[in-house]
Structure 1
């Protein structure tokens, strides 16, 4: 089955304008933009036949082309990454079995997260959409709770049923837990990793649906599938000692740079 990875990137982020071009310093002092680090993460995925950056901004296009990425231009009217991926897929006139949306704000996404997601969709013919979830340890859970305490939106959390289909995603920390956890303790909270794998038919249907109230309130594109009663399979992945965090706010830059140093990534 052929796999296309699309990295949607826009300049006009509400929370962090210009985010894809923000430079992050690696373990050896090398500075690379967020979009380049996300592209490098995508290029490390085994089994991907093609990787493209999808954007509506010439500054991002020029930056991406400068480090060798293939770029497809999309409209400014795309409301989110999934709509941008759908338009990019149509503009490419692509013909792939699986389309992966690797969002451009997750440069620490380990390749095995995406590989597990692709395998999950390949091995579950009934599934049209899949997304990875990572069980939080105490340190990650405390970071999420600290963001909310200080009025910041950090990562997204997910809850899912016995069939692994998502019940809900939220920028609040769900489910509620009263217990305190040590840094390395496993917790019942799952961090949603911002990657999606779609069958092309599901991806192309998405922009034909109006956004529902939950998507509007949470600002989470994946809720459009749930509000349309379209199941989304959650694939649990393992950190294997890797650090993972998304760049959502300027305050995340030093945190991600520390993680790059911790894992020795240039």
Structure 2
């Protein structure tokens, strides 16, 4: 069963209103970039944009994509994803929530989640993480010491099932030994059919409220979350939350190159070709 990629996209943003369309990154609208990257992901059969803004719907349809109108009352992207799948008649399909502002998400990372959703390991959710090298670990330590909140880490068991997610660096390292058992979490989530329905029916628990991490709701309620280790292949993960973030994204693109050759939804790579890049 092919996977649906859902991109929640809303107009309102306190720091960057209208960013799905107004934030043009190296000449291409933010939402268009994310939509094209999702379409290029191996294993993804359909891409939906879930929005409450007619301007976003019209933009996506002009690209030849599919947009689903959702209620403005949706509290977050997960609820918007759930409603969009139901209204599109796709609630029985495995689905991946692709962040609408994660403009540098490699298609092979989304593809890794699509592949994991096709494996019969029984996990309710799948989510990616990157193992940190020593240099990246020390940078993250310094960022935390400086008071930066960004950067979530995750621990998991030998079967890859998540044990805990935290804004702190976990596990605590008494000694530095390589490879480091420290994994930085990437905020993409794949849900098996039925798991998303259950997830949105649950209320936030004390751990989710304490950390401000929605994924802890699954663990607090006994849902299984499989962590998929991915390799960014020398590329930098980046999201756009402010106009300044757009400039950083453009600098990274200039340094690392574009992920796709075209942004019209036609750049479709076979998985075996991506593995060679």
Q: TM-score, normalising length from structure 2?
A: 0.82
SS, match of residue 28 in structure 2: strand
Equivalent position to 1:60, from 56, 59, 65: 56
CA contact (8 A) 2:43 2:115 kept: no
Tell me which residue corresponds to 2:256. Answer: 263
Tell me by how many angstroms 1:194 deviates: 1.6
Q: Are positions 1:158 and 2:151 aligned together?
A: no
Tell me by how many angstroms 1:188 deviates: 3.2
Calculate the aligned-residue CA RMSD, in Å.
2.6
What's the CA shift string for 1:178-216, capped at 9, x where partnerless? Answer: 7789xxx96432121121111120011122111212222
Tell me which residue corresponds to 1:229. Answer: 222
Counterparts of 1:58-207 in structure 2, within 5 Å, are: 58-94=54-90, 96-177=92-173, 187-207=180-200
SS, match of residue 134 in structure 1: strand
CA contact (8 A) 2:44 2:114 kept: no
Aligned pair in 2 of structure 1 residues 222, 66: CA closer, same or farther (>3 Å)? same
- Distance in structure 1 (CA, Å) of the matches to 2:24 and 2:146: 24
Tell me by how many angstroms 1:95 deviates: 5.4
- Distance in structure 2 (CA, Å) of the matches to 1:178 and 1:195: 30
SS, match of residue 12 in structure 2: coil
Tell me by how many angstroms 1:137 deviates: 3.2
SS, match of residue 100 in structure 1: strand
Aligned pair in 2 of structure 1 residues 83, 17: CA closer, same or farther (>3 Å)? same
Tell me which residue corresponds to 1:34. Answer: 30
* Greater displacement, 137-146 / 249-258: 137-146
What's the CA shift string for 1:46-74, capped at 9, x where partnerless? Answer: 22211011012234334433433311111
CA contact (8 A) 2:25 2:246 kept: no
SS, match of residue 44 in structure 2: coil
Equivalent position to 1:240, from 233, 238, 263: 233
CA contact (8 A) 1:82 1:221 kept: no
Aligned pair in 2 of structure 1 residues 14, 191: CA closer, same or farther (>3 Å)? farther
SS, match of residue 173 in structure 1: coil
Aligned pair in 2 of structure 1 residues 85, 243: CA closer, same or farther (>3 Å)? same
Q: TM-score, normalising length from structure 1?
A: 0.85
Q: Are positions 1:214 and 2:207 aligned together?
A: yes
What's the CA shift string for 1:62-112, capped at 9, x where partnerless? Answer: 443343331111112222222111111111111553111111121211111
- Distance in structure 2 (CA, Å) of the matches to 1:11 and 1:179: 46
Q: Are positions 1:8 and 2:8 aligned together?
A: yes
What's the CA shift string for 1:148-191, capped at 9, x where partnerless? Answer: 4444432322121222111122233333447789xxx9643212
Tell me by how many angstroms 1:8 deviates: 1.0
Aligned pair in 2 of structure 1 residues 58, 6: CA closer, same or farther (>3 Å)? same
Aligned pair in 2 of structure 1 residues 180, 12: CA closer, same or farther (>3 Å)? farther
